[in-house]
Amino acid sequence: MAIIEVRDLKKTYKIGSVEIPALRGVSFSVEPGEFVAIMGPSGSGKSTLMNIIGCLDRPSAGRYILDGRDASRLSDAARAAVRNRKIGFVFQSFNLLPRMSAFKNTLLPMMYSTERKSKKAARQALESVGLGHRLHHTPMQLSGGEQQRVAIARALINDPPIIFGDEPTGNLDSATGNEIIAIFQKLNQAGKTVMMVTHEPDIAQHAKRILRFRDGLLESDESVAEQLIAVTIHERSGSGKNAD
């Protein structure tokens, strides 16, 4: 069964009397455990699509089935609850709260748990992205790559089955971007479904499948013949422990 299924999805924005068709009838489905890159020129409808399948916005027409449930007709509150359980978001600009520590930023989406359980989960999430030693640093005290890893820890805190990245490497140099992609691949190997918008063809080659959009339509849907595997600096330098 597909975890994400969209059927003839349409979205039209209205500004005054002007209608802007951002999505003009898009259909595809994603199975659990896929790693999908979303590509396409600026204005092709990628953000509009991600907002809808991320349960941040509603389509004008068409259906969106998320993990067996019709998400196109949910109330705002029900959509927010589904989003919180099913999807972790990672954005280009990290979107961390500047005055809060890595630990508190990671804790933010925690809703359905006791305090003790939440704190343990936040610590584990930060450890899983290699930041166990940076719990009490604020974003300003962290590098860009570390900030993005905090954002990934925050996305993981509720253990959602789906991770969405909106150009997650867009603000990072290529070595640091590579580290972030390595984490996405590790999460995918562990069973998470990953969807990621990217402008960079070589980043997209780290996915298993590429959906290309143009003018609000799905232009192509291809599987990646030879998926690139991101090797981190840590792994490249050999044994690991004393790598740096």
Taking the least distance from each CB to ligand ADP, the nearer of 89 and 103 is: 89
Nearer to ligand ADP, 79 or 134 (CB): 79
Q: Which of 32, 43, 144, 170 binds ligand ADP (CB under 6 A)?
A: 43
Minimum CB separation of residue 91 from ligand ADP in Å reads: 13
Q: How many CB atoms lie within 10 A of CB 61?
A: 12
Residue 101 sits in the site that holds ligand ADP (CB under 6 A): no
Report the alpha-carbon angle 18-60-51, nearest 5: 100
Q: CB of 70: closest distance to ligand ADP in angstroms? A: 22
Sheet holding 69-70, edge to edge: 18-30, 4-15, 61-66, 69-70
Residues 6 or more apart whose Cβ sits within 8 Å of residue 21: 10, 11, 12, 216
Q: Is 225 a binder of ligand ADP (CB under 6 A)?
A: no
List CB contacts of 202: < 8 A, sequence separation 6 or more. Answer: 228
Region from 46-54, 69-77, 127-135, 188-196 binding ligand ADP, contact rule CB under 6 A: 46-54
Of 42, 114, 239, 242, the one binding ligand ADP by CB under 6 A: 42
Q: CA-CA distance, 93 to 136, in Å (whole number)?
A: 20
C-beta closer to ligand ADP: residue 143 or 220: 220
Q: Tell me the closest approach of the beta carbon of residue 12 to ligand ADP, in angstroms.
A: 9
Q: Does 198 bind ligand ADP (CB under 6 A)?
A: no
Q: Are 206 and 39 in contact (CB under 8 A)?
A: no
